[in-house]
């Protein structure tokens, strides 16, 4: 599976944010207690990478469909990405019941928000490339 250029750039932004999140948590906690946050951030960023891959595959497939089928397929793919996000946020939310610290949830939430940062950064990259 070959990913498009924008998808690869988004994945690089997501991967580059993991050390930033983990390093920030390490500075905040100043001990090994940052590991649950880092695990949650890894989970959220893995979700972001999966969403980028799903979005790229959907865009390639939609380009070959007629308008009605493409609309239905796009809605189904969007709903699937939403369900994956809900699942990744729900599992750490209940982690406190299983004995894990709530920092896992906050790490996952931060990782999920990094996907939005990657999307926004792509808007900036594309705008600069179009103007050049």
DSSP 39-107: HHHHHHHHHHHHHHHHHHHHHHHHTTS-HHHHHHHHHHHHHHHHHHHHHHHHHHHTTTTTT--THHHHH
Q: How confident is the model at residue 127 (pLDDT cuts 50, 70, 90)?
A: low
Identify the CA nearest to 38 among candidates 68, 10, 62, 17.
17
Q: What is the tens place of the pLDDT at every residue in 43-56?
A: 889 999 999 998 88
The pLDDT assigned to 105 comes to 84
Q: What is the tens place of the pLDDT at every residue in 59-88?
A: 888 888 888 888 889 899 999 999 998 988
Q: How confident is the model at residue 128 (pLDDT cuts 50, 70, 90)?
A: low
The pLDDT assigned to 32 comes to 86
């Amino acid at each position: 599976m070959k990913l498009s250029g924008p998808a690869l750039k988004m994945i690089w932004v997501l991967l580059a944010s993991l050390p930033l999140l983990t390093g920030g948590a390490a500075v905040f906690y100043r001990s090994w207690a940052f590991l649950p946050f880092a695990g949650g951030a890894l989970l959220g960023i893995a979700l972001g990478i999966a969403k980028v891959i799903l979005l790229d595959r959907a865009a390639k497939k939609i380009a070959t469909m007629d308008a009605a089928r493409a609309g239905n397929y796009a809605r189904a793919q969007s709903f699937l990405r939403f369900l994956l996000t809900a699942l990744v946020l729900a599992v750490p939310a209940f982690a406190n019941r299983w004995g894990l610290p709530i920092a896992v949830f906050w790490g996952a939430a931060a990782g999920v928000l990094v996907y939005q940062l990657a999307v926004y950064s792509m808007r900036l990259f594309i705008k600069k490339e179009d103007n050049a």
